[in-house]
Amino acid sequence: MLESLSGRLSAIFERLRSRGKLNDADVSEVLREVRIALLEADVNLAVVKDFIASIRPRAVGAEVLESMTPAQAVIAIVRDGLVELLGTRLAPVRFEGTGATAVMLAGLQGSGKTTHAAKLALLWKDEGRRPLLVACDVHRPAAVEQLRTLGAQIQVPVYAEDGATDAPGIAARALEQARSAGNAVAIFDTAGRLQIDEPMMAELEQVKAAIRPSETLLVVDAMTGQEAVNVAQVFDRRIGLTGTILTKLDGDSRGGAALSIRAVTGKPVKFIGVGEKVTALEPFHPERLASRILGMGDMLTLIEKSQRVFDERQAKELATKIRKASFTLADFLDQLRQLKRMGSVQDLLKMIPGMGKLAAARDIDDSELARVEAIILSMTPKERADPRVLNASRRRRIAAGSGRTVQDVNRLVRQFEASQKMMKSLGRGRGHIPPSLH
C-alpha cells in the first residue's frame, strides 16, 4: 500500500536527519522534494499546492529552525498536514436509532461494489448488527449470483427478485422486508457501467429516491488514480454522496486517490479495501494512514485486528507491552503467528513500527515467517527477552541452529530494535494508545 510514496518520503527524511541544524534553504529543499514525491504519486496538482502552502509557514518557522531535533519537527509537521489533507478524523457511518438503516453503494462496473457490500455486511454482523444484502443490479445477472454466493459465505441473507427489472421497486420492497424482519441495516448493491452514462445515473437517482438512504457511498478503485477523483465528483453532483470506499488500496503503490479524493470532493473516505478476502476492509483513519505513509507503522489498526482473534486479556496485555515498550522477541513471534489469521503477513508487518523496511525490502510471506520463527526459537528465553545479550558467538549459534545466516539474525535483531525505539516514542508522545483500546 502506497509503497512508492512511502519510500520516497522516507528517503527524503532519512537524508534530512543527517543534516543536524537546518536553515531556510534546507527546509525549502525538503518541501520541494515532498512536492515532487506527491505529484509523482499522482496526487492532484491543486491538492499538492494547497498542501505545501499549508505546511510551509510552520516548516520554515522557529518551531523547526530552533528545534534540537529539526528533522523530527519537519516530519511531525508533514504528518499533521497529511492528516488534515485526509480528513482529520474517522467519519463513522450514521446508523438510524430505530428501524433499518439503508446504505446505498454506487460506482462503476469493476470497482468492487458487490464484494464490498459483503465486506460491509460481515463487518457489521461482527459488530452485532443484523444486515441484509440487497441485489439491485438488474443489468448484470452475474452480480445477483455473486451477491448470493458471498451472502452464503458470510451467512448473511440476500434479497433478490429473479427476472425483475425495476431496480427502484426492488429496493423499496427490500427495505420494507428489512424493517419487518428486524434487520438493522440494508446494504443496496446497485448497477454500474464501464463508464458514466445517463441511464445509470437516472436509475441511481430513482433508487435513492425510493429508499432515502442514510448513507450513499461511492465504491471507487484507488488504482485508477486521478480518474477515481473525477468519477467521485460526477457521482456526487448527481446523487449526493455521504462518503467513499477506496478499494484496491493494497495494490496502489502511489496513493494519489487516497490523498486527493477527500480534498477535491469534500466527502470523507469512510472505508478502505486492503485485499480480496471478505475480511479485508478497514474503517478509514486519516492519522493512521498518514503514519503508514511516513513509515511509522500503524499499531492501533494492528491491535484492533488482533482483538478479533485474541481474547480481551491478550489484547490488553499486548497494548500494555507496546505502551511500555516491553514488547519482546517472544511477543513478536506470537504476533506473527496470529497475523496469519488476519490477512497478508507482509501488509500487516508494515503496521509494526520499524518493521516497514524489512517488509518492503523482502517479499515476506508465510515461508519468511517460518524462517523468522526458526531464528527466534533458536534463542534462549533470556535472548528473546533481551536481544542486547546477543554477542557474536551467540548469533553464530542461533544462525546454525535455525539454518539461517548470521546476517539473517543480525537483520532481524536490527529491525526489532528499531521497532522498540518507535514504540517508546509512541508511548511518550502524541501517538500513545488511547484508553479505549487497552
The DSSP result for 57-90, as a single string, is HHHTSHHHHT-SSHHHHHHHHHHHHHHHHHTSS-
H/E run at residue 131: strand 131-135
92 lies in a domain? no
Same domain (yes/no): 136, 285? yes
- Which pLDDT band holds residue 438 (cuts at 50, 70, 90)? very low
Rounded distance between C-alpha atoms, residue 135 and residue 184, angstroms: 17
* Res 271 pLDDT > 60: yes
93 lies in a domain? no
Q: Which pLDDT score is estimated for 115?
A: 95
- Which pLDDT band holds residue 435 (cuts at 50, 70, 90)? very low
**Other CB atoms within 10 A of residue 379 CB:** 24
What is the Cβ-side half-sphere exposure of residue 258, based on CA atoms within 13 angstroms? Answer: 33
**Beta strand spans in 142-248 (E):** 158-159, 185-189, 215-221, 243-247
The DSSP letter of residue 106 is E
* Res 23 pLDDT > 90: no
- Which pLDDT band holds residue 218 (cuts at 50, 70, 90)? very high
Mean pLDDT value of segment 186-203: 92
The amino acid present at 173, given as its one-letter code, is R
Query: Which CATH number characterizes residue 254's domain?
Result: 3.40.50.300
Same domain (yes/no): 247, 388? no
Q: What is the pLDDT of residues 282-295, one digit of tens each?
A: 899 888 888 878 77
Rounded distance between C-alpha atoms, residue 15 and residue 426, angstroms: 22
Same domain (yes/no): 335, 275? no
Query: Which CATH number characterizes residue 429's domain?
Result: 1.10.260.30
Residue after which a domain boundary falls, among 62, 86, 110? 86
94 lies in a domain? no
Q: Which pLDDT score is estimated for 355?
A: 59
Report the mean per-residue pLDDT for the chain.
84
130 lies in a domain? yes
Residue after which a domain boundary falls, among 36, 54, 86? 86
Percent of the chain with pLDDT over 90: 42
Q: What is the pLDDT of residues 345-390, one digit of tens each?
A: 666 666 665 555 555 555 556 677 788 889 999 999 999 988 989 9
How many domains does one find in the chain?
3
* Res 243 pLDDT > 90: yes
382 lies in a domain? yes
Same domain (yes/no): 346, 248? no
279 lies in a domain? yes
Q: Which residue has the higher pLDDT, 310 or 43?
A: 43
Same domain (yes/no): 133, 264? yes
Mean pLDDT value of segment 299-313: 60
